Amino acid sequence: MLEMRPTRSTGSAKRGYLIPIGGAEEKETNPVILQHFVDLCGGAEANIVVFPTASRLEDTGARYVDIFKRLGAGKVDFIDLNTRADCENLDNLKRLDEATGIFITGGNQLRLSTIIGGTPLGDQIRYLNAHEVHVAGTSAGAAILPEHMIAGGQSGPTPRQAAVTLSPGLALTNRLVIDQHFRERDRLGRLLAALAYNPYFIGLGVDEDTAGFISPEGVLEVAGSGGITIVDPSDLEYSSIAEARRDDVVTMTNVRIHILAAGDRFDLTSRRPLVQAQLEAEENA
């Protein structure tokens, strides 16, 4: 049986970057996030595979191919995955094996999980990310990156028992739960509800045109025009989720929240924010 956990790196290989993007990333005027992704993947030597599976729009894959080529990527292809059989196709698996970067587009994250989940291609994405291939996902593509995916829920700032629906994700990390379009769609309540179920995780609420570039060492750096809300429940003292009825507000005490902007970092291991302005002030002192 396929284990839903991050694949371990072997030999001298490092993990690739993991890059959740909050959706609606700038693609034309100042595409900071997408340019950084291309540069990470090797620039002119980059070999990027795009999966537009979550999208119902026929031109999504071709549009990202054009964008990445304009940003200097050496080779870019998109692979349509419309059935689970496509995720077993040897030509698709062979093409993916050549990649230095993988990009998963937005749309409906349940299309991603029901088509890719539990397939050889899903397993291969985990293996490649554990062996220096960078994986980015925008919107639905960001939600599916962790072991546990937010599949749906309610808007609003207050956690309620029925505010969130969870399902298995791609399991590229087991430290995080990720929500996207965060500030724009008022999703703090459903991220808090997800963490109330299990406070082991760190919650990332990623605004539109914003990304977290998570290094092999587990340090997240914010890029883009918005912010990332980091919800750390490691010191949670009490949660009423076990007793709450469907529409009840969930009591949560002693939850730590950080709001980080471009250039700020967060160490996922120590759970410590590394704020750019503060670090610069300490260096100058």
Whether 125 and 7 have beta carbons less than 8 Å apart is answered as no
Catalytic residue check, 98: no
Rounded CA separation 146/86 (Å)? 22
261: number of Cβ within 10 Å? 17
280: number of Cβ within 10 Å? 11
Catalytic residue check, 167: no
Catalytic residue check, 208: yes
36, 134, 148, 181: which is the annotated catalytic residue?
Answer: 181
55, 113, 139, 239: which is the annotated catalytic residue?
Answer: 139
| Ordered DSSP codes for 67-124 | HHHHTT-SEEEE----SGGGGG-HHHHHHHHT-SEEEE--S-HHHHHHHHTTSHHHHH
**CA dihedral for 269, 272, 277, 278, sign (positive or negative):** negative
Rounded CA separation 40/205 (Å)? 23
Residues 6+ apart with CB under 8 A from 158: 189, 249
113, 134, 147, 208: which is the annotated catalytic residue?
Answer: 208
Tokens linked to 68: 């990445």
Query: Among all residues, which ones are annotated catalytic?
Result: 139, 181, 208
